[in-house]
């Protein structure tokens, strides 16, 4: 199954796509994670992307498209994948359609996680992520067992540079202007599945799985 997880920053795309990937045994392709890894590695791509990301702005389409084109051709993507955080602009969605149709493929479903934008700010400001494995915690909603330490691997937790309130507002704004129209693109293709993204994590996963049946 080829899926796209779509929604505002803080809608739980990353968390839910990881859970659904485990259920379906397909890889999660998160463009945000790929870019953060490129920054950690100090690659040319990472150096170019860092300024955009730290400010909360989108990275130019061309950089992202190269990354995705290469990734979906890997052998682990043969049975499908979940795209998390891509496409985020109409040109990206159109380019993805083109890449897939050349292979005789298409996106099966786009899971649209809907959330009140005001909830997003509180979720993101309190988010902490493991500097090694990427597991997510929250200062009030999901506290780690030991302060500042990942429950899974013991590495220190950090706050993403773009999870400061000012950058969150920039991200929400670019979501509204550039990303939200992508939902209409998939609605027109008849593959959009809307899911309420407020509530308990397990219940949301359950609602998503029902929509995918
Ligand atoms: P995320 O982890 O999905 O919240 O992405 C973090 C940041 O990576 C975004 O705020 C953008 O700067 C950049 N990014 C990730 N995916 C894309 C994309 N598809 N297009 C442009 N920028 C992206």
160 is catalytic: yes
Distance 150 CA to ligand 1 centre (A): 23
**How much is the pLDDT for 22?**
95
What's the confidence (pLDDT) of residue 119? 86
Q: Reply yes or no on whether 19 is catalytic.
A: no
Asked whether the beta carbons of 163 and 157 are under 8 A apart, the reply is: no
Q: State if residue 134 touches ligand 1 by the CB under 6 angstroms criterion.
A: no
Among candidate residues 22, 40, 49, the one with its CA nearest the CA of residue 133:
40
Q: Which of 109, 123, 127, 128 is catalytic?
A: 127
Residue pair 68/88 in contact by the 8 Å Cβ criterion: no
Distance (Å) from CA 48 to ligand 1 centroid: 13
State if pTM tops 0.85.
yes
pLDDT at 207 (0 to 100): 97
Residue 54: per-residue pLDDT: 92
Q: Would you give per-residue pLDDT tens digits along the chain (213 residues)?
A: 999 999 999 999 999 999 999 999 999 999 999 999 999 999 999 999 999 999 999 999 999 999 999 999 999 999 999 999 999 999 999 999 999 999 999 999 999 999 988 889 988 999 999 999 989 999 998 999 999 999 999 999 999 999 999 999 999 999 999 999 999 999 999 999 999 999 889 999 999 999 998
Rounded distance, CA 54 to CA 10, Å? 16
List the residue whose alpha carbon is closest to atom 11 of ligand 1: 58
Is 145 considered catalytic here?
Answer: no
- pLDDT for position 113: 97
Does residue 171 carry a catalytic annotation? yes
By alpha-carbon position, which residue is closest to atom 2 of ligand 1?
Answer: 32
Rounded CA-CA distance 59/121 in Å is 21
Give me the helices (H) in 75-200, please.
90-102, 117-125, 165-174, 181-189
Residue 196 is predicted with a pLDDT of 96
Which candidate in 13, 18, 123, 128 is catalytic? Answer: 13
């Amino acid at each position: 199954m080829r899926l796209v997880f779509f929604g505002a920053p803080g809608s739980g795309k990353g968390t839910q796509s990881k859970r659904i990937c485990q259920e379906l045994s397909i890889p999660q392709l998160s463009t945000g994670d790929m870019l953060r890894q490129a920054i950690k590695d100090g690659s040319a791509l990472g150096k170019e992307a860092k300024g955009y990301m730290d400010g909360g702005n989108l990275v130019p389409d061309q950089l992202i498209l190269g990354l995705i084109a290469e990734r979906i051709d890997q052998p682990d993507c043969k049975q499908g994948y979940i795209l998390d955080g891509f496409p985020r602009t109409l040109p990206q969605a159109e380019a993805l359609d083109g890449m897939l149709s050349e292979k005789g493929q298409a996106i099966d479903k786009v899971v649209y996680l809907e959330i009140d934008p005001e909830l997003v700010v509180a979720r993101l400001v309190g988010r902490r992520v493991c500097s090694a494995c990427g597991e997510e915690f929250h200062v009030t909603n999901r506290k780690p067992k030991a302060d500042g330490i990942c429950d899974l691997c013991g590495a220190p937790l950090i706050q993403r540079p773009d999870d400061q309130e000012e950058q969150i507002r920039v991200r929400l704004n670019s979501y509204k202007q550039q990303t939200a129209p992508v939902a209409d693109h998939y609605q027109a293709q008849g593959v959009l599945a809307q899911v309420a993204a407020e509530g308990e994590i397990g219940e949301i996963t359950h609602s998503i799985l029902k929509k995918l049946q």
